[in-house]
Amino acid sequence: MDIARLQRTKPFMDKRFGMFIHWGIYAVESAGEWIRNNRNITIEDYQPNFDCFTADQYDPKKWAKLAKEAGMKYAVLTTKHHDGFCLFDSQYTDYKATNTPAGRDLVKEYVEAFRAEGLMVGFYYSLLDWHHPDFPAYADMHHPMRGNEAYKDKEKDKDFSRYTEYMYNQVKELLTNYGKIDIMWFDFHYAEMTGEKWEATKLVKMIREINPDIIIDDRLGGDIKVDDPVYYAGDYGSPEQMIPAGGVVDYKGNPIPWETCMTLNDHWGYVADDINYKTPKNVIRMLVECTSKGGNLILNVGPDARGNIPEKSVEILKEVGKWMRANGESIYGCGISSIPKPEWGRITENEDYIYLHLIDANTVCFAIEGLKDKVKFATRLSDGSKINMEKPWNYTSFLEKDPLFIHLPNYNTMDDIDTVIKLYKK
Ligand code: GLC
């Protein structure tokens, strides 16, 4: 087990809930951040997105307040996505926000706003770059110009080391121009485009020299599940659009840090007519599930080209925030319980308390094995009211073991999303 990694990631893993922000000129196209790939769009045909990106209503203070209100404790913004467009004022490219009608360094304002709200600040940075002239196009499986004969000849003039140098320089800019950054979220590796192809050791050395505490995801390549991972393997697993059945464990079965990234509708980048949103109930239950399995949830929003987070996303996040204000204690700093998952819900735990999450409960009386004589009191977390722990008179006729009982006063007062019972350990 990598103890240094566990220590380094502890403050981050205690936060449990973060905001992912996918924002770039693809918001103008309103068809997702992979649109150049999906429709084989050339840089030239993609240019109107650059020319129409106004960001004129961008107010990251609003975003940060919303994240905080939702109960999120950190954020990660796409500083550059696969299309190569940079939201920050990089000295190494002209393909950046300062040269669009937006005319400002959009990363700077984000960092300031989120930091001011006390959230951890993270940067997403795409390893793929469909704009850089030295990134393979014709022969690359994801590039918008893959297999396009017109691009075949150009490959021989390319020098990939110029691209890795560009990346190195940009990441250095990101980590030195905006104060101390908490999270670096690289995306992603595939086929031979992995690990040292990105000059990952050199890159991560530079990053850790600038900030030894920074948390790095696992998408540069390598394998974080082995005993002694390669230097650049990263700090945490990053399952996408799914929550692994048993959480994320190493090859010996020990839990390791992880974070599920999830869209709120069906896209990362802004898509006006994608209204297939998850419900607040769904979001909260995902968060509870991640927490009970020792993982984080980073939930995405895709602001539009003028800088607004879609109204529906705002609405959902505010609803999530209501539950979090009443029940967040069962999430932050909590993790896997010593008590196995019960049939009526999930359990989270910290040093002093065990939290029962009643999400599939059909009665008001619950038996929990393995806790007898270990619990002093029980309260309902949302209002602090005392919970009866009396045993039903004839339970021995139906249960072999002698469990702890929790008896809620009234089924109608149960929270449709998740009623949390707080058990005080002896
Ligand atoms: C993927 C996609 C990307 C998205 C990311 C988020 O790998 O390429 O568009 O940013 O996942 O996890």
Q: Where in the chain is the domain with CATH 2.60.40.1180?
A: 337-425
Cis peptide before 188 (omega within 30 of 0): yes
Cβ atoms within 10 Å of 155's Cβ, excluding its own: 12
Nearest atom (ligand 1) to Cα of 78: 10
State in Å: Cα 197 to ligand 1 middle: 19
> CA-to-CA distance for 275 and 333, rounded, in angstroms?
33
Find out whether the beta carbon of 83 lies less than 6 Å from any atom of ligand 1: no
Find out whether the beta carbon of 23 lies less than 6 Å from any atom of ligand 1: no
Superfamily per CATH, domain 3-334:
Glycosidases (3.20.20.80)
Nearest to 342 by CA among 361, 364, 319, 321: 361
Beta strand 365-368 pairing with 404-407: antiparallel
Nearest atom (ligand 1) to Cα of 219: 7
Question: Alpha helix (H) ranges present in 59-138?
Answer: 60-70, 106-116
pLDDT in tens, the chain (426 residues): 678 888 999 999 999 999 999 999 999 999 999 999 999 999 999 999 999 999 999 999 999 999 999 999 999 999 999 999 999 999 999 999 999 999 999 999 999 999 999 999 999 999 999 999 999 999 999 999 999 999 999 999 999 999 999 999 999 999 999 999 999 999 999 999 999 999 999 999 999 999 999 999 999 999 999 999 999 999 999 999 999 999 999 999 999 999 999 999 999 999 999 999 999 999 999 999 999 999 999 999 999 999 999 999 999 999 999 999 999 999 999 999 999 999 999 999 999 999 999 999 999 998 998 888 899 999 999 999 999 999 899 988 888 788 999 999 888 889 999 999 999 999
- Specify the CATH number of the domain 337-425: 2.60.40.1180
Nearest atom (ligand 1) to Cα of 188: 7
Q: C-alpha distances in angstroms, 68 versus 23, 117, 145?
A: 19, 7, 41
Q: What is the pTM of this model?
A: 0.97
Burial 113-128 (b: 16+ CB within 10 A, else e): bbbebebbbbbbbbbb
Q: Where in the chain is the domain with CATH 3.20.20.80?
A: 3-334
Question: Alpha helix (H) ranges present in 160-294?
Answer: 160-176, 200-210, 280-292
Nearest alpha carbon, ligand 1 atom 4: 268
Find out whether the beta carbon of 119 lies less than 6 Å from any atom of ligand 1: no
State in Å: Cα 33 to ligand 1 middle: 9
Nearest alpha carbon, ligand 1 atom 2: 187
